[in-house]
Amino acid sequence: MKKKKILITGAAGDVGTHLRRELQAKYKIVASDLRDLGETFKGQSFKRADISKMPAALRITKGVDAIVHLGGYSVEGPWQGILNANIIGCYNIFEAARLNGVKRILFPTSNHAVGFYERGTTIDHRVYPKPDSRYGVSKVFGEALGSLYADKYGMQVFCMRIGNVNPVPIDKRRLSILFTPRDLAQLVTIGIEHPDVRFEIVYGISKNTRAWYDNSNAFRLGYQPKDDSEQWAAEVLANEKPGDQAAELYQGGMFCVAEDIPNPAPLPERKKRM
């Protein structure tokens, strides 16, 4: 069978790089970002783009079978940055996809869309959003936008509330939200391939013993995660230091109290925006 052509925005980031690596044999991948990719993989093309500009969004979404929209500001930060990348940029990708006839969009939303639920609470995909930050608000916006485009334009939208994509958990909080690269690739594949997707919200986590999420909607669609953070629990907890009391209360952690977090993926000053 002919390989599907998949656009991954935000492809230079950690999640995008893991995904490009894991899916390189399965799909024909078009990688897009404002930054250079860093790690590259054979057979994948690159299109530099500033998705806050509609012409750029139209250019990169043309001729693809599905979009994994990772592009955007990835932490809590100044409103203008989040507005341009996560609100305007998100709208541009959805609208450009519609205009170019792309039916399937995977929107990696975030655990921060529901970060103000307490850690002792188990939540599922039907809970009311409780964002923990301006960044979290932007992810709620993306979920709502996806719902609109599914209902109004018949697009197929798969929203994944991502926990923390990493091969191993790095602290106590991430024992609950670890999402290993191979489990990420499996869930994304379901989002691309499942025939019955109209509008779905699932949680992007592995099968963690300490999970805060009821991920039955993902399991219903065939998700069978392979990894559990519990194998690293003893080591992680032995090295854990006391944190902010308010942050420790809520699932969103430091996003619940921070006003600004250094952007882990800043655009180099010398790069010209496109």
pLDDT, tens digit (0-9, with 9 covering 90-100), for 200-214: 999 999 999 999 999
Of 259 and 209, more confident: 209
Give domain status of residue 204, yes or no. Answer: yes
Give domain status of residue 139, yes or no. Answer: yes
- Contact present, 41 and 25 (Cβ < 8 Å): no
| Residue 268 in this model has a pLDDT that exceeds 60 | no
| Residue 266 in this model has a pLDDT that exceeds 90 | no
Query: Please, what is the average pLDDT of the chain?
Result: 94
Specify the amino acid at residue 40: T
Q: Using CA atoms, how far apart are residues 263 and 71, in angstroms rounded to an integer?
A: 13
Average pLDDT over residues 30-42: 93
| Residue 264 in this model has a pLDDT that exceeds 70 | no
pLDDT tens digits, 115-155: 999 999 999 999 999 999 999 999 999 999 999 999 999 99
Give domain status of residue 269, yes or no. Answer: no
What is the domain range of residue 161? 5-256
| Residue 77 in this model has a pLDDT that exceeds 90 | no
Residue 244 — very low, low, confident or very high, per pLDDT cuts 50/70/90? confident
| Residue 109 in this model has a pLDDT that exceeds 70 | yes
Q: Using CA atoms, how far apart are residues 115 and 124, in angstroms rounded to an integer?
A: 13
Identify the active-site residue in 91, 117, 135, 223: 135
Give domain status of residue 38, yes or no. Answer: yes
pLDDT of residue 131: 97
Give domain status of residue 212, yes or no. Answer: yes
Within the chain, strands assigned E span 5-9, 28-33, 45-48, 66-69, 104-110, 156-162, 164-165, 178-179, 199-204
Q: Which two tokens stand for residue 232?
A: 């690293």
Residue 262 — very low, low, confident or very high, per pLDDT cuts 50/70/90? low
| Residue 274 in this model has a pLDDT that exceeds 50 | no
Give domain status of residue 264, yes or no. Answer: no
| Residue 270 in this model has a pLDDT that exceeds 60 | no
Q: Any catalytic annotation for residue 135?
A: yes
- Contact present, 175 and 208 (Cβ < 8 Å): yes
pLDDT of residue 273: 35
Give domain status of residue 273, yes or no. Answer: no
CATH for 167: 3.40.50.720
| Residue 267 in this model has a pLDDT that exceeds 60 | no
pLDDT tens digits, 153-205: 999 999 999 999 999 999 999 999 999 999 999 999 999 999 999 999 999 99
pLDDT of residue 2: 87
Give domain status of residue 231, yes or no. Answer: yes
> Number of folded domains in the chain?
1
Residue 38 — very low, low, confident or very high, per pLDDT cuts 50/70/90? confident
pTM of the model: 0.93
Cα distances from 205 to residues 53, 63, 253, 273, in angstroms, run 32, 31, 16, 33
CA–CA–CA angle 31, 182, 194 (5° rounding): 75
